[in-house]
Amino acid sequence: MRIAIDLHGGDHAPTEVVEGVRLAAAEWPDLSIILVGRDESLKPELPNVSFKRVTEVIGPEEEPVKSVRSKKDSSIVVGCRMVREGEADAFISGGNTGALMAAGLFVTGRMKGVDRPALAPVFPVLGGGGMLVLDVGANPEARAEHLRQYALMGGIYAQKVLGIENPRVGLLNIGTEAGKGTELTKEAYSLLDREPDLRFVGNVEARDVLFGPCDVLVCDGFSGNILLKNTEGVAKAIFDRLKQEFTRNWLSKLAAAVLKPGLVRFKNDMDYKEHGGAPLLGLAGPVIKAHGSSDARAFFNAIRQARRFTEQQVISSIEQELSKQKGA
């Protein structure tokens, strides 16, 4: 199996990318890892790590579509092309999210039966584990049929990659009642409720998301991105405030020492690094967006995720499901 990874993607690239590759290469000696970048001197001297040289990099602030079209030898575009042409089985990047989505769509291409791909990260939930949420920004506007496709793709991914048997599927909404929400969510509810291949549990309110009411949460990209950014912001605010309070004086420092084991467990439960990256479900090949602030551990987990994505033949399973429904 060959997994390509963007050497220049992420806030801490290339150092953390290289270290993540070292960890993965040691964990899976049979795995072939291809670093895609400009400077081959950064490649670790390991037998299962090779290098694909490019001449360009798309920066975090560059306009996505324009940069993909003008920088055809950039690490993001070349990585997506490697997947399309069979040079790599999967591609991972922590770089410009919009550019990766554009390259995935224009270069790698969509799988059969999918109208629009979805960006699908795993949200950590209280008590451990995670919940797949899609879409969180690939398509700000969506139709009910798109949400139905997201639900089917997410269900298959959760089963094969996350190891969840018969995953529960929920619909993000402003209330739990079937008649709540916009015309989009009402129509999507009707489609999902009639879908025989889904274990649909109904509407899910944003306040309940971190308690894990379902295994797959479906929403349009606009609502999903707001949910993602708000969740990240609230988590950061909580940890920052706890740090302030526990370092306020000697008594609070003593309390912090007593509570430290529980706080560490809580922090680990809510740590995105343990879940790898967000796949772009609906593309014709495995493309994974790693978090922009990923460290070596996060890149290692993204490689693990890409490995399982490929091993479990998720894309062919989704295509078979959509083809079966089309023929029904």
What pLDDT does 130 receive? 85
**N- to C-terminal Cα separation, the chain:** 34
Longest dimension (CA), the chain: 69
* Backbone φ, ψ for residue 163 (5° rounding): 75, 30
pTM: 0.88
Q: For the range 45-52, what are the long-range contacts, defined as Cβ-Cβ under 8 Å and sequence gap of 24 or more?
A: 46/22, 49/21, 49/25, 52/4, 52/78, 52/82, 52/87
More confident residue, 156 or 268: 156
* Backbone φ, ψ for residue 119 (5° rounding): -85, 125
What pLDDT does 91 receive? 97
Residue 208 vs residues 126, 223, 268: alpha-carbon distances, Å: 11, 15, 20
Q: Are strands 90-93 and 216-218 parallel, antiparallel or unpaired?
A: unpaired
What pLDDT does 237 receive? 85
What pLDDT does 118 receive? 94
Tell me the angle at which helices 183-193 and 144-160 cross, rounded to the nearest 10 degrees.
50
What pLDDT does 251 receive? 78
> Would you say residue 292 has pLDDT above 60?
yes
Taking the C-alpha atoms of residue 227 and residue 219, their distance in angstroms, rounded to an integer, is 10
Domain residue limits, the chain: 1-114+282-312
What pLDDT does 266 receive? 65
Q: What is the pLDDT of residues 48-100, one digit of tens each?
A: 999 999 999 999 889 999 999 999 999 999 999 999 999 999 999 999 999 99
Q: What is the pLDDT of residues 263-279, one digit of tens each?
A: 666 666 666 666 678 99
Tokens, residue 216: 């797959």
Tokens, residue 283: 């593309």
Query: Mean pLDDT across the chain, nearest whole number?
Result: 89
Instruction: Report residue 293's pLDDT band, with 50, 70 and 90 as the boundaries.
Output: confident
Taking the C-alpha atoms of residue 251 and residue 285, their distance in angstroms, rounded to an integer, is 55
What pLDDT does 283 receive? 95
Taking the C-alpha atoms of residue 285 and residue 90, their distance in angstroms, rounded to an integer, is 7
What pLDDT does 255 receive? 75
Q: What is the pLDDT of residues 175-202, one digit of tens each?
A: 999 888 999 999 999 999 999 889 999 9
Taking the C-alpha atoms of residue 208 and residue 189, their distance in angstroms, rounded to an integer, is 18
Give me the percent of the chain exceeding a pLDDT of 90. 63
Q: Which burial class, exposed, middle or buried, applies to 12 when counting CB atoms under 10 A from its CB (0-12, 13-18, 19+)?
A: middle
What pLDDT does 270 receive? 60
Residue 125 vs residues 196, 212, 239, 298, 324: alpha-carbon distances, Å: 27, 6, 16, 17, 33
What pLDDT does 215 receive? 95
Q: What is the pLDDT of residues 93-134, one digit of tens each?
A: 999 999 999 999 999 999 888 888 999 999 888 777 789 999
Contact by Cβ (8 Å): 108, 84: yes
What pLDDT does 269 receive? 61
Residue 141 vs residues 191, 209, 229: alpha-carbon distances, Å: 18, 21, 17
What pLDDT does 326 receive? 60
> Would you say residue 42 has pLDDT above 80?
yes
What pLDDT does 187 receive? 96
Q: What is the pLDDT of residues 199-221, one digit of tens each?
A: 999 999 999 998 889 999 999 99
More confident residue, 247 or 299: 299
Lowest mean pLDDT among 14-18, 53-57, 169-173, 272-276: 272-276
Q: DSSP E strands: which ranges in the chain?
A: 2-6, 32-37, 49-53, 90-93, 118-119, 122-124, 130-134, 168-173, 199-205, 216-218, 277-281, 287-290
Q: Please identify which residue in the block is written with the tokens 């909580």.
A: 238
More confident residue, 63 or 231: 63
> Would you say residue 328 has pLDDT above 60?
no
Tell me yes or no: is domain 1-114+282-312 CATH 3.40.718.10: yes
